[in-house]
Structure 1
């Protein structure tokens, strides 16, 4: 059975483009593939805690030396990491906020990117511990557009960061679908949404 971890990060409900598109993909995937189990996490409505001092102490203290307080401090992170590692596929809906990702998604990333769990430090440098055969789909929603090779490309601090971060923990098979130009008028908006939906339909059969 294939396990999909589906995460939405927008605080919006029915008005969220990224939510609508991730839902469209996951629904279509389930309709065309048998034996699919989906774990859903809504970070936009139910954010995870930010890293604090107790978390740091727990993360860098051997488990056998954990006090009850340290065990409690790292409990949520352990649950999130276990859930993350159990997935075979990842579908993330990520709106662009101020050229990057929502703080709710950054808080989640900080909870799951942990030495000894999702990456290691070796004599040869950093090593991702997540199975590199797993696939990631990230669907973004953006008010503007940042085409490669244009002066606007440098403003995209979303895709480059996520590619580097996911590669850092071992995930290199990453696909992005950008629903962009959403604030540039009705015609560019509708054209971009149609292109995103076409990309989703194609990926369902080839992912």
Structure 2
């Protein structure tokens, strides 16, 4: 049985275009995997704490030396990593906030990006991802238009997500991105186009 882990990050639990896009991807994924299971992690309703001093100390302290303080500090990280390890495919939905992903999604990756857990370092100092044989889908939404404009070089949303996922061993199979969501005149046309792309690529 395949498991899809869906991670939503928009602060808008209603009316979010990135969530709607993820809904359509999930629906199509379910039709292709009738025996599959979808597990949810909504970062708008599940608070991801920022890493603190004890969290970092726990990251770099051998597990057999963890005391109760470090175990508590690592509880969120351990839970999220276990969830990620058990998934076959990952669906991440994200709006563009101030040229990048929402802070809750950044906090999520800070919790799960751990040496000797999700990435390693070889004897030459090269990094390698440890979460192999997994693929990811990105559902991205932007209120403005960036592609092909002078603002494109300041859009760090997709480059960041692809880089951090690759760093832990997960390659992005498909990115579905919709721009100009603040313009209702073109929104529906763009949604129709991207829905067709999803049907052809999931």
TM class, shorter-length: over 0.9
Match of 1:193 among 183, 191, 199: 191
Please give the alpha-carbon distance, in whole angstroms, between the structure 1 residues aligned to 2:201 and 2:141.
Answer: 18
- TM-score normalised by structure 1 residue count: 0.92
1:42-94 CA-to-partner distances (Å, cap 9, x unmatched) read 00122211100110111110001111111111011111101111111001110
TM-score, length-scaled by structure 2: 0.94
Cα deviations by residue, 1:138-168 (Å, 9 ceiling, x for unpaired): 10110112225x4332021111111111111
1:92-103 residue pairs with structure 2 within 5 A?
92-103=92-103
Report the Cα distance in structure 2 between the residues aligned to 1:50 and 1:200, rounded to whole angstroms.
Answer: 33
Cα distance in structure 1, aligned partners of 2:146 and 2:173: 19
State the match for 2:153 in structure 1: 154
Q: Tell me the equivalent position of 2:118.
A: 118
1:1-207 alignment to 2 at 5 Å? 1-124=1-124, 125-131=126-132, 133-147=133-147, 150-183=149-182, 185-204=183-202
What is the CA–CA distance in structure 2 between the aligned matches of 1:41 and 1:172, rounded to whole Å? Answer: 20
Rounded Cα–Cα distance in structure 1 between residues aligned with 2:13 and 2:168: 30
Q: Give structure 1 stretches of 5+ with no counterpart.
A: none
Secondary structure at the counterpart of residue 24 of structure 2: helix
Moved more, 95-104 or 122-131: 122-131
Q: Distance in 1 between matches of 2:57 and 2:67?
A: 11
Whole-Å Cα distance in 2 between the matches of residues 141 and 30 of structure 1? 22
Q: What is the alpha-carbon distance in structure 2 between the residues aligned to residue 156 and residue 173 of structure 1?
A: 18
Mean alpha-carbon deviation: is it higher for 22-31 or for 101-110? Answer: 22-31
**Coordinate RMSD, CA, aligned:** 1.4
Structure 2: 5+ residue runs without aligned partners? none
- Looking at structure 1, the residues matched to 154 and 10 of structure 2 have their Cα atoms a distance apart, in angstroms, of 20
SS of equivalent to 2:29: helix
> What is the aligned length?
201
Residue pair 1:9, 1:104 contacting (<8 A) in 2 also: yes
Equivalents in 2 of 1:112, 1:199: separation in Å? Answer: 30
